[in-house]
Structure 1
């Protein structure tokens, strides 16, 4: 069993798949499994992923298209590590990313997280949580405060305890008439409500690609935007129900 499970959902990601997988496999930390969930891609994403099966750490699974929330949930089910982290197929992580996060993890810590860089047309824009090398958050008020930061609700740039997720019976939100927008805010909210301690570090970072035109967040369609607003309401209602 590997110490870390890395869940990588993909949907029509042929433009990014090869570079993304190579980026992950070149990490300085080696004790991990890479769980690739192909969410019903209709392009060459699957063929690209198949080329990496020579590496025993790579596990590839295909599912009919259901959205990134369902792909991540399948990734959680297929993971066998003690710890789990999520990477998006169009994003980039530095070579020390896993090593830094895993080395900081201790049994009394529920989540280790780091800064996020946004890849925009004008270049990399840094989103810093704190101006310190390390920050420990160990009160409910401090932990729930993090949810008010626009970047924290994202599933990436974080290391979670997989056993804790399973003991909670937790997953990304799935319900009728829900299309998956803001599923990360639901996931992090429930996880943090049940957490006692977080640890922040600026020793590494995560580069989030905001230039991907296929991203649901960048879709200019009014119908999609209306659907996203309905999804937001469903997420908030689901958190309040919890």
Structure 2
């Protein structure tokens, strides 16, 4: 088995259906799908069962004991049989050649590599969601990506790529881009790095925390803008996650005390905080 796709979910059966539908359309079929339900009570299992004749899919359920996305992803990671693991969120749709490209990128690399996917529409405003919802069509991911391009609903990290370039392995803290909405790494490297810290039990932090350990274990970080996906637009339950993100950042710095993570404490004027930009802007003055 070349690759395993791990998808945590929680009471998002409609979005899960969109995600799985995009996987049916992949250009290769040497992969498995592992859905881990973090204690949900909807019909997600029935949705997964409906894809059994189209996908190599397994469904796991764990007791609802609060936010345990890290534990859910670990369950999927350890159950996986693929050499490479792709983590995506429920509601993320992969372009039809995404799995093929993940495999190609890992197999051609001379080093263990962490591959950051490009996610259109991630963290767009609720106002923008309402604007584009009437035009959405979940049956054609390519068409949906084209629509996102036209609407300038780009990856929220695009401004960083524009400013600092796509060679993220030269950035001081590429691990800050390790967002499990769409990312891949070698299974053996994820396990060697200790997998997700399951003590993170609120939104944010557990993915970057693992990204740091992959970085410290000499994994090379790589972004391919053509490795496309789209975050299905839906209104967010919580508009402002800044407080939770800040708490996670402070915890990460206390845990590792790296010179890079020190800059989580150094503000920048941008509306959306970026650790790498904080370092680029402030490093020479400290």
TM-score of the pair, normalised by structure 1: 0.79
Q: 1:189 aligns with which of 182, 190, 212?
A: 212
Structure 2 residue ranges without an equivalent (≥5):
133-147, 259-286
Residue 234 of structure 1: aligned partner: 251
Contact 1:178 1:231 in 2 (8 A): no
In the TM superposition, what whole-angstrom CA distance separates every residue of 1:123-147 from its partner, at most 9, and x where no partner exists? 632233646xx96565xxx254324
Distance 1:55 1:115, change over 3 A: closer
Equivalenced residues, count: 225
Tell me the residue number matched to 1:172. 196
Q: Which runs of 4+ in 1 moved over 4 A?
A: 134-138, 224-229
**Alpha carbons of 1:179 and 1:202: their partners in 2 closer, same or farther (altered >3 Å)?**
closer
Q: What residue number does 1:41 align with? A: 40
Query: Larger % of strand: which?
Result: 1
Q: Please name the residue that 2:4 is paired with.
A: 5
Distance 1:23 1:162, change over 3 A: same
1:146 aligns with 174
Selected match of 2:227 from 182, 204, 218:
204
1:76 paired with 2:69, answer no
Describe the SS at the equivalent of 1:201.
Answer: strand
Q: CA deviation at 1:65?
A: 2.1
> CA distance change for structure 1 residues 228 and 108 in 2, over 3 Å: closer, same or farther?
closer
The answer on whether the counterparts of 1:37 and 1:62 sit within 8 Å (CA) in structure 2 is yes
In structure 1, runs of 5+ residues without a counterpart are none
Distance 1:180 1:23, change over 3 A: same
Larger radius of gyration: 2
CA RMSD of aligned residues (A): 2.9
Contact 1:5-1:82 at 8 Å conserved across structures: yes
Cα pair 2:116 2:178 within 8 Å, conserved? no
TM-score with structure 2 length normalisation?
Answer: 0.68
- Cα separation, 2, equivalents of 1:130 and 1:226: 25
Q: Is contact 1:113–1:158 with CA below 8 Å preserved after alignment?
A: yes
